[in-house]
Amino acid sequence: MNEYIIEMVGITKDFPGIRANDNITLRLKRGEIHALLGENGAGKSTLMSILFGLYRPDAGQILKDGRPVEVRDPNDANALGIGMVHQHFKLVHNFTALENIVLGVETTRNGALRMDQARTQVMALSEKYGLMIDPDAQIQDITVGMQQRVEILKMLYRENEILIFDEPTAVLTPQEIDELMDIMRGLAHEGKSILFINHKLAEIKQVADRCTVLRKGVLVGTVDVADTSVEDMAEMMVGRKISFGIDKQAADPGDVVLSVKGLSVAGRHDKRAVSDVSFDVRRGEIVCIAGIDGNGQSELVYALTGLMPVESGQITLNGADITHALIRKRNDAGLSHIPEDRHRYGLVLDYDLQQNLVLKKYHHEEMQHRSFIRVGSVRAHAERLIRQFDIRSAQGPDTIVRSMSGGNQQKAIVAREIDTDPEALIAVQPTRGLDVGAMIYVHEQLVRVRDQGKAILLISLELDEVFQLADRILVIYEGRIVAELDGKQATAQELGLYMAGSRKETA
């Protein structure tokens, strides 16, 4: 038997304006977990999409068990036992979990759909691999972690042997990440072969056997993870040594900028999502809301930014009441927002990059005159941000944002929101999907904005990020602020107890 289940040999793929993959060779061993690492835009998703039949390579060959195969489309991939969980999931939102899993491979008898058999099989798989789901829940009502389990079950139901995960942990909570790591180990143990794109070096270290590194479309090399340090992997990836961690002086908070008093927000299914929350964010400080996903963070942010109405309470910005103000009005008063869902609230995917970068400003005098857009100004503005934030794309300001890599889409949002010179910046998971270099850059920018005397409200599920940036930490649990901690003194353990609701501070 061939040692390699899949070999991609000399793969080249061009897109207009860019060579996304340049003569890349990657060999996947049977039963291994193989990580794929590289900066944002390095060509990782492209390479995996070629293996899954979404793109045809311009040159190169794919071998399965040592024999050349054609992967013209995802049906071919499926027939070869290749499955993929995408960076942005591809589920039908108003179908149930079970319906999504069997979609395309339904069992029928005399032309009628037979779901009972499928249900038994799916539940058996779910049991076997510890992938707990509610088969009858609609996708739109379940958490991202659960959606991901549905995607994994979809591959297992199709008896896929080669499983591709494109940044599976970027959207998960720390608990879900641990679970996923266990599931991946279990799958590899069963003989499945796994390809795993990830920016988090610690996770690669934890779960992967080997790691292939790409840089700007080119293969840098493949290493055994056990023999390679996190620092070495990072250096392979960016081509120079990088220092982890950032310099941050103690905060020197000034006047209150953003103030929230007794805020309550309605949630789904007649439940309150946010209950009687009060806090202030002052000039020159980063206040972080920490909590397990689904404890009211999203609704709190939607209320602050005007995406959702408030039930009761008051929000003020520099003393002015904005509780019921229109979104445009909040923006013009100096509120910026890096949203959690970049596709839904952050970008217009079919606009080009320069249009997306000017979304918050196009109505300002510098960008338009008597309702005519100043084309030159818009372009110059985009070019400046592209340079400053190192936003990589195929065609610069003219690139349609949909075609950009996930991390570069994120960088575009961060650039736009920081550049509006906000009074208060609400940043939700600002570094989701960013490579380590870009992540450190964004962290430095947030600290810089703070030091310019702005107020920052950070919402993050990642404890590393919280400890790295927060001057003060507010813990949210079941829609209430249950603790306030000093960013310098709080420990992970203490924070964890509050986040899990097993400890309460009496305010």
Ligand X SMILES: Nc1ncnc2c1ncn2[C@@H]1O[C@H](COP(=O)(O)OP(=O)(O)OP(=O)(O)O)[C@@H](O)[C@H]1O
CB of residue 408 vs Mg ion: minimum separation in angstroms?
Answer: 9
Closest CB to ligand X among residues 213, 476: 213
**Binding flag, residue 8, ligand X (CB under 6 A):** no
Q: Which one of ligand X, Mg ion, none interacts with residue 296, CB within 5 to 8 A by kind?
A: none
Q: At a CB cut-off of 8 Å and minimum separation 6, what does 489 contact?
A: none
Residue span binding ligand X (CB under 6 A) among the ranges 36-44, 221-229, 285-293, 347-355 = 36-44
**Binding flag, residue 20, ligand X (CB under 6 A):** yes
Q: Which residues of 331-347 are buried (b: 16+ CB within 10 A; e: fewer)?
A: beebbbbbbbebeebbb
Q: What residue is closest to ligand X based on CB?
A: 407
Distance from C-alpha of 62 to C-alpha of 6, rounded to nearest angstrom: 7
Of the residues 5, 18, 201, 442, which one makes contact with ligand X according to CB under 6 A: 18
Q: At a CB cut-off of 8 Å and minimum separation 6, what does 167 contact?
A: 87, 197, 198, 199, 406, 433
Nearest by Cα to 64 from 77, 47, 73: 77
| Antiparallel, parallel or unpaired: β 162-166 and 193-197 | parallel
Closest CB to ligand X among residues 8, 301: 8
Of the residues 40, 78, 259, 297, which one makes contact with ligand X according to CB under 6 A: 40
The CA distances from residue 506 to 141, 313, 365, 477, 488, in Å, are 33, 21, 50, 14, 21
CB of residue 167 vs Mg ion: minimum separation in angstroms?
Answer: 6
Distance from C-alpha of 75 to C-alpha of 470, rounded to nearest angstrom: 47
Nearest by Cα to 430 from 417, 448, 449: 417
Residue span binding ligand X (CB under 6 A) among the ranges 105-113, 173-181, 351-359, 389-397 = 389-397
- The contact pattern for ligand X, residues 216-255, with x = CB under 6 A and - = no contact, is ----------------------------------------
Of the residues 147, 393, 420, 429, which one makes contact with ligand X according to CB under 6 A: 393
Q: Which residues bind Mg ion (CB under 5 A)?
A: 45, 405-406
Closest CB to ligand X among residues 290, 394: 394
User: Between residue 154 and residue 173, which ones bind ligand X under the rule CB under 6 A?
Assistant: none
Q: Which one of ligand X, Mg ion, none interacts with residue 38, CB within 5 to 8 A by kind?
A: ligand X
CB of residue 16 vs ligand X: minimum separation in angstroms?
Answer: 6
Distance from C-alpha of 262 to C-alpha of 140, rounded to nearest angstrom: 30
Distance from C-alpha of 72 to C-alpha of 49, rounded to nearest angstrom: 11
CB of residue 404 vs Mg ion: minimum separation in angstroms?
Answer: 10
Closest CB to Mg ion among residues 85, 310: 85
Q: What residue is closest to Mg ion based on CB?
A: 45
CB 39 within 8 A of CB 390: no
Distance from C-alpha of 225 to C-alpha of 242, rounded to nearest angstrom: 19
User: Between residue 396 and residue 435, which ones bind ligand X under the rule CB under 6 A?
Assistant: 403-408
Which residues make beta-bridge pairs with 9?
61
For residue 15, count other CB atoms closer than 10 A to its CB. Answer: 16
Q: Report H helices in 158-271.
A: 174-189, 201-207, 230-238
How far does CA 254 lie from the centroid of its chain? 33
Of the residues 27, 33, 41, 397, which one makes contact with ligand X according to CB under 6 A: 41
Residue span binding ligand X (CB under 6 A) among the ranges 57-65, 144-152, 235-243, 392-400 = 392-400
Closest CB to ligand X among residues 290, 434: 434
Return residues touching ligand X (CB under 6 A).
15, 18, 20, 38, 40-46, 392-394, 403-408
